[in-house]
Every structure is written in C-alpha cells, then in structure tokens.
Amino acid sequence: MQKKEAPLHNNLAWPTVQRLSEYLIILEQFAEGGREVISSSELAEVYSNTPSQVRQDIFRLPNTGRVGQGYRIKELAEAIRETLGLDSVTKIVIVGCGRMGMTLAQHIPFGEHGMKLCGIFDNDPTIIGLEIEGTKVEDVSILEKKVVESAVSMAVLCVPASVAQELADRLVSSGIKGILNLTRQRLKVPPGIYVQYEQIICSFMQLAYKCKQSPRPAPNL
C-alpha cells in the first residue's frame, strides 16, 4: 500500500489540530521514557479515543508510519511539530504580570516547544524590573516598541478584563498574529488575527456538566 502524496496546502480539521497537540505531549513523554515505537491502539488507549481516530488524525501528516510496525515516536512527534508550525521558533510576549502572568512565565516550558519568551510587560512599578526565568519585566509603555523590534508573533494576555481590549488593540497594531487570552473579556480583533480563549472557569463548568450525568459513587477505601 502506497502512501498518497501529502497535499501541499495541508488544512487540518480543528478537532484534529486539538488532538494532535495533545498527542505530542504524550509522545514526548514516551520519548523521555526511552520508548521508540508506538502503535495507534496504544496511543488511543492513553488518549482515550479509538485507534481509528488516531490513524485518521495522523493520516494527514507528512510522516509515514510503518505498516505492521507502528510509528517511530520521534518521527511522529517531529511531523506533528512541523504541521502545527512549531518547527521554527515562535516569539512570544506575556502581557500582564500579575499572579497568573507570573505563574505562566515560570510554569510553561516555552523553549521545549519551539517558542521563545521575548518579553514580559506590566504597569506596576513594584513588579517592573523583576527577573522571571531570565526575562526582566518591562514597562508596558514600551510594549509596541519591543513587539515591533523583535517581530513577536504571539502574545499571552493576563491583564484585568477592563483593559484587555485596549491591550489587544495595541498588540494588533504592533503586528501580532495571535493572542492567547486568559481574561474573561471577549476580544474584537480584525480578520486574520487569531484569539484563543483559555478560561479555566469554563473547564470547571464543563466538568460539572459531565459529572452531573451520573451520581457520585460511594468511596471505596
């Protein structure tokens, strides 16, 4: 069976993109553990979906698995990175260094995923100047200057909701391409600019819905 040529303009379905990013995390962990090969059914087991869906997701990738053998973990991970656009460095800034911004700055292994943290900005004089994970917090007044200078392409927005739109506008006018929005403010941006909303409270609500489907089980200690 011959693998069809990968289409040049690879347009993946959004649910597929979401799963691929999660597969990548799983693959990286397997790789750390020294595993070299994984089958679609094993990945499906860990991810809690079906082998068929895993194969369908991987099907669009440039990579080739080995029929009868499974996938080389490193090759597959690389193929996912490439497809997601993580093979070349993505420059990022964090806007708002309150509790959440600071936590993200310290918590997220940007470097491990093809991203480079190029700046952290805040307007609080007691925070400006602090060094977090090797990056100094700068005054938000020089945000535009820095974003343009470094040609930053993505921003994380962790400011109070009341100023979120204003800062989004400033980021957009500085040429930013995507915003990861952790505020509860919906943002209005021009076409071609992408906003990804990340509201943990919504995840709670969604989990609450799942939990409602059946009664709480008895403890089993």
What is the footprint of a copy of itself within residues 15-74 (CB under 8 A)?
17-18, 21-22, 24-26, 29, 46-48
| Contacts with 204 (C-beta within 8 Å, 6 or more apart), sequence order | none
* Piece in contact with DNA (CB under 7 A), picked from 58-66, 107-115, 199-207, 212-220: 58-66
The distance of closest approach from Cβ of residue 1 to a copy of itself in the complex, given in angstroms and rounded to an integer, is 28
Please say which residue, 58 or 176, places its beta carbon nearer to DNA: 58
How many Å apart are CA 212 and CA 72, to the nearest integer? 40
Cα–Cα dist 156/110, whole Å: 12
Nearer to a copy of itself, 66 or 184 (CB): 184
Tell me the window of 58-66, 98-106, 119-127, 133-141 that interacts with a copy of itself (CB under 8 A): 98-106
Binds DNA by CB under 7 A, chosen from 15, 111, 129, 175: 15
CB-nearer residue toward DNA: 65 or 119: 65
Site for DNA in 60-79 (CB under 7 A): 63-71
Which three-class secondary structure state does DSSP give residue 175?
A: coil
**E strands, the chain, where?**
37-38, 71-72, 90-95, 115-122, 131-132, 135-139, 154-157, 178-181, 194-197
| 141 is a site residue for a copy of itself (CB under 8 A) | no
Q: Are 94 and 101 in contact (CB under 8 A)?
A: yes
| Residue in 12, 69, 72 with CA at minimum distance from that of residue 36 | 72
- Locate 128 and state its tokens: 């400006």
200 binds, among DNA, a copy of itself, none (CB under 5 to 8 A by kind): a copy of itself
Q: Is 53 one of the binding residues for DNA (CB under 7 A)?
A: yes
Q: How far is the CB of 7 from a copy of itself (least distance, A)?
A: 14
Shortest CB 38 distance to DNA, Å: 7
Alpha-carbon distance values, 84 to 21, 46, 48, 128, 216 (Å): 8, 21, 22, 34, 39
> For residues 45-58, b (16+ Cβ closer than 10 Å) or e, as one string?
eebeeeeebbbebb
204 binds a copy of itself (CB under 8 A): yes
In the complex, minimum distance from the CB of residue 60 to a copy of itself, in angstroms, rounded to a whole number: 12
Residues 151-170 that bind a copy of itself (CB under 8 A): 151, 153-154, 161
What does 39 interact with, of a copy of itself, DNA, none (CB < 5 to 8 A by kind)? Answer: DNA
